[in-house]
Amino acid sequence: MGQRVRPKTGKAGAALSLALLVLCGPVQASSEAKASPKGDAAFGEYLSGTCVTCHQISGKSTGGIPPIVAWPEDQFIAVMNSYRSKDRENQVMRTIAAALNDEEIAALAAYFGGLILQPDTKK
């Protein structure tokens, strides 16, 4: 065994690990703040496009479609899971929920849960 050769990281390596630190820092900090894994609201916003063709973003209920904004996240997740497991009736929502995974449901819960129910939604 000769001399140990240390892998050369160089400046690029240092810059990369610094960038990773910066990127991961806030994410870790926010997930540590809560015990339960929190959904990514930005991802939820991205996914919400399909939902808001039926559900009003203002929280107004229209034609039998209930509002889904400003719900507690765990409640939202529980309801979505009950559609997914077919415990709750409604073919439309069963189909929609079946296409979502846990991460996506958590993200939607975070996004819709963070929206404010508009008081003046009657038209």
Size of site (CB under 6 A) for ligand HEC: 18
Closest Cα partner for 106 from 27, 26, 28, 40?
Answer: 40
Binding string, residues 64-103; x marks residues near ligand HEC by CB under 6 A? xxx-x-------x--xx-------x-x-xx--x-------
Give me the least distance between CB of 80 and ligand HEC, in Å please.
Answer: 6
Are the CB atoms for 76 and 112 separated by under 8 Å? yes
CB of 106 closer than 8 Å to CB of 72: no
**Residue 3 or residue 101: which is nearer to ligand HEC going by CB?**
101
For 28, 35, 103, the CA distances from 52, given in Å and listed in that order, are 30, 29, 19
Closest contact distance (angstroms) between CB of 67 and ligand HEC is 7
Q: Which is nearer to ligand HEC, 36 or 90 (CB)?
A: 90
Q: 50, 62, 72, 87: which one contacts ligand HEC (CB under 6 A)?
A: 50
Which of residues 9 and 90 has its CB atom nearest to ligand HEC in the complex? 90
Q: Dihedral through CA 100, CA 104, CA 106, CA 108, nearest 10? A: -100
Other C-beta atoms closer than 10 Å to the C-beta of 83 total: 21
Q: Which residues bind ligand HEC (CB under 6 A)?
A: 50-51, 53-55, 64-66, 68, 76, 79-80, 88, 90, 92-93, 96, 108
